[in-house]
Chains A and B, each alone.
Chain A
């Protein structure tokens, strides 16, 4: 008479296999890629600007912003950086987006279906390790907005992005202290919420950030990272 253990031993042969094949494995890899991207952005956006802490930054005209209610926070004072000129972008377009203008001599150095980076010549483009905090210092990052949102302390300036309402403000550098990195959120025609992140060290004015954002189009390949 067999025992329960004998029945259990034979269960593996009886369990039908799941989906398999190169497409399934490729989908697993793609999910891994998205998770790495999501974690990278969460580390930066949520845990607080690892890169921003080290930023040598440009002063942002805080007076241009409408003050946040009862805001004790202050924007980090920063030295001026060389002013850049926006020019028509001639290089390869990022995945999931189209970009028409970039700072002169800058180019798209990496992209996926949820984000892309624009960096000056000579920027380090080494791929980060999973989970590793990524420095976006000196680079412009564009993504479909995940969990990022302005802290209550941030003043928010309303701007026009191709007829849509954009909002320009600051993330926190640490509790009670705003970073000098600027975030611009705006919706595109398809309803995507796009986030542009510009560290002060990049040296773009608010108007230039708005002009840069106006040249961004989210394509059908784009996917929100959701995180």
Chain B
């Protein structure tokens, strides 16, 4: 029972410190849907808990990030497979009236990128990871991260309305 208590204590400390960051990454990987991001992080943290005794302290951040990217990618795939549901009435949608709204254009555009390209862009340019760190999180080669992130960035440049950058410059 002592091992469990120790694991719980360490895991609790880690989650307390890192959860917000993981939700943020997940949100950007699932097109800004916070509820879905929460689901992704919960699943990822469960995987992390199972693996906790095998994960070295110095690599736990990378492991957690990798879990989030994997689960988010799986989530994307399952959404892709999910069949469209036809309804007679449009669902009610909340009015976006928060600061997040100003960046919703960028997040929406991120959502149009293929999953691996989006992950490369988010990890490299939003989270500021090195190429090696991003490759580890995505479980792919560094060359793949370079090409995916470069192409993703180029795609965003093409898609982002010019006015958005102007507004951004004005603050």
Binds B, one of A14-22, A89-97, A176-184, A186-194: A14-22
B100 near A16: Cβ-Cβ < 8 Å = yes
Q: Which listed residue (B2, B46, B107, B126) contacts A31, Cβ 8 A?
A: B46
A127 near B169: Cβ-Cβ < 8 Å = no
B45 near A28: Cβ-Cβ < 8 Å = yes
B52 near A5: Cβ-Cβ < 8 Å = no
Q: Which listed residue (B41, B53, B125) contacts A9, Cβ 8 A?
A: B125
- Which of A11, A12, A15, A32 is packed against the most chain B CB atoms within 10 Å? A15
Q: Which listed residue (B8, B11, B45, B103) contacts A11, Cβ 8 A?
A: B103
From residue 90 to 146 of chain B, which have CB atoms closer than 8 A to chain A? 98-100, 102-103, 106-107, 121, 125-128
Task: Determine the chain B residues whose CB is within 8 A of the CB of A32 once the complex forms.
Answer: 11, 45-46, 48-50, 52
Smallest CB gap from A5: residue in B: B125
Q: How far is the CB of B128 from chain A (nearest CB, A)?
A: 7
Task: Determine the chain B residues whose CB is within 8 A of the CB of A28 once the complex forms.
Answer: 11, 15, 19, 42, 45-46, 49
Smallest CB gap from B155: residue in A: A4
Number of interface residues of A (CB under 8 A): 38
Query: In the complex, A12→B128 CA distance in Å?
Result: 10
Query: In the complex, A128→B38 CA distance in Å?
Result: 29
Number of interface residues of B (CB under 8 A): 51
* A46 at interface, CB cutoff 8 A: no
* B1 at interface, CB cutoff 8 A: yes
From residue 20 to 67 of chain B, which have CB atoms closer than 8 A to chain A? 20, 23-24, 27-28, 32, 34, 37-38, 41-42, 45-53
B11 near A17: Cβ-Cβ < 8 Å = no
* B4 at interface, CB cutoff 8 A: yes
Task: Determine the chain B residues whose CB is within 8 A of the CB of A9 once the complex forms.
Answer: 125-126, 128
* B3 at interface, CB cutoff 8 A: yes
Task: Determine the chain A residues whose CB is within 8 A of the CB of B51 once the complex forms.
Answer: 130-131
Contact A127-B50, Cβ < 8 Å, known A16-B100, A25-B16:
no
A4 near B157: Cβ-Cβ < 8 Å = yes
A17 near B53: Cβ-Cβ < 8 Å = no
B53 near A130: Cβ-Cβ < 8 Å = yes
* A29 at interface, CB cutoff 8 A: yes
Task: Determine the chain A residues whose CB is within 8 A of the CB of B169 once the complex forms.
Answer: 1-2
Query: In the complex, A43→B31 CA distance in Å?
Result: 36
Task: Determine the chain A residues whose CB is within 8 A of the CB of B11 once the complex forms.
Answer: 28-29, 32
Query: In the complex, A222→B14 CA distance in Å?
Result: 28
Q: How far is the CB of B116 from chain A (nearest CB, A)?
A: 17
Q: How far is the CB of A7 from chain B (nearest CB, A)?
A: 5
Task: Determine the chain A residues whose CB is within 8 A of the CB of B121 once the complex forms.
Answer: 8
B23 near A17: Cβ-Cβ < 8 Å = yes
Query: In the complex, A11→B48 CA distance in Å?
Result: 26
Q: How far is the CB of A33 from chain B (nearest CB, A)?
A: 8
Query: In the complex, A8→B157 CA distance in Å?
Result: 11
Q: Which listed residue (B47, B98, B160) contacts A7, Cβ 8 A?
A: B160
Those 3 A-B pairs whose CB atoms lie nearest each other, nearest first: A32-B49, A18-B23, A8-B125
Interface pairs (28), CB distance under 8 Å: A1-B166, A2-B169, A7-B164, A7-B165, A8-B106, A8-B121, A8-B156, A11-B103, A12-B126, A17-B20, A17-B24, A18-B19, A18-B20, A18-B23, A18-B37, A18-B41, A19-B38, A28-B42, A28-B46, A29-B8, A29-B15, A31-B49, A36-B50, A127-B2, A127-B3, A127-B4, A129-B53, A131-B50
* A residues whose Cβ falls under 8 Å from a Cβ of B: 1-12, 14-20, 22, 24-29, 31-33, 35-36, 39, 125-127, 129-131
